[in-house]
Amino acid sequence: MNIRMIKAIVVIGVLCVLPLSMSPSWASSGGSKESAVVYPGYMELKPPLVVNLASTGRTRYLKLDLQFYLNTSHDAELVTQHLPLLRDRMITMLGGRQPEELNSMEAREKLRAEMLEKLRETMAHQTGIPAITAIYFTGFIIQ
């Protein structure tokens, strides 16, 4: 065997083994990233909600990032299944509000409680269980 052949064999060996060592940890467990989440835990709403706010003059928007707190993976499956309906409820609740209604900490806490109540009612109506334990605003931008 000459040097060229030995180098070719080493390169081929490295190319065969390298992808195996670089695979993500969740791939070896046979699941996806989502199935690796342990509950109780959080589920991020993606993409964030963006709604028009009522205002005179220029157009105003609210961009809301939020996370649901869920107790079980079954709750997560239910929320994922009904996410279009939940997004509709949140957009309906938020759209058209006055920006001044959302500026204070108290107003945001009131909104969070109102939104949680409505979302739990929606889930209970659709699935028989409220599924969502809590919601957290992780981004709240009015512009």
**Residue 96's pLDDT is what?**
87
pLDDT at 23: 40
Encoding tokens for residue 112? 């969070």
Residues 28 and 60 reside in one and the same domain? no
> What is the reported pLDDT for 2?
64
Q: Containing domain of residue 100, as a range?
A: 39-142
How deeply is 76 buried, as exposed, middle or buried, from its count of CB atoms within 10 A (0-12, 13-18, 19+)? buried
Same domain, 15 and 70: no
Looking at the structure, tell me whether residues 105 and 65 fall in a common domain: yes
Q: Total domain count for the chain?
A: 2
pLDDT on residue 21: 45
Residue 141 phi/psi, 5-degree rounding, is: -120, 125
16 and 58 belong to one structural domain: no
In this structure, the answer to whether residues 87 and 110 fall within a common structural domain is yes
Q: What is the mean pLDDT of the chain?
A: 84
Question: Are residues 37 and 80 in contact, defined by beta-carbon separation less than 8 angstroms?
Answer: no
Residues in the chain with pLDDT values less than 70:
1-36
Residue 115, domain CATH: 3.30.479.30
Candidates 137, 62, 143, 59; CA nearest to 105 is 137
Note whether 30 and 69 are same-domain residues. no
3-state class (DSSP) for residue 113: helix
The tokens 């699935």 sit on which residue? 127
Statement to judge: residues 72 and 136 lie in one domain: yes
> In terms of C-beta distances under 8 Å and separation of at least 24 residues, what long-range contacts does 123-128 make, across chains too?
123/78, 123/79, 123/82, 123/86, 126/78, 126/82, 126/85, 127/78, 127/82
Examine the domain organization and report whether 17 and 86 are in the same domain: no
Residues in contact with 79: Cβ distance below 8 Å, sequence separation at least 6, in sequence order:
43, 68, 70, 86, 123, 131, 132
Q: Are residues 9 and 62 in the same domain?
A: no
| Shared domain check, 133 and 103 | yes
Whether 66 and 12 map to the same domain: the answer is: no
pLDDT digits (tens, 9 = 90+) for 25-59: 334 444 455 556 789 999 999 999 999 999 888 89
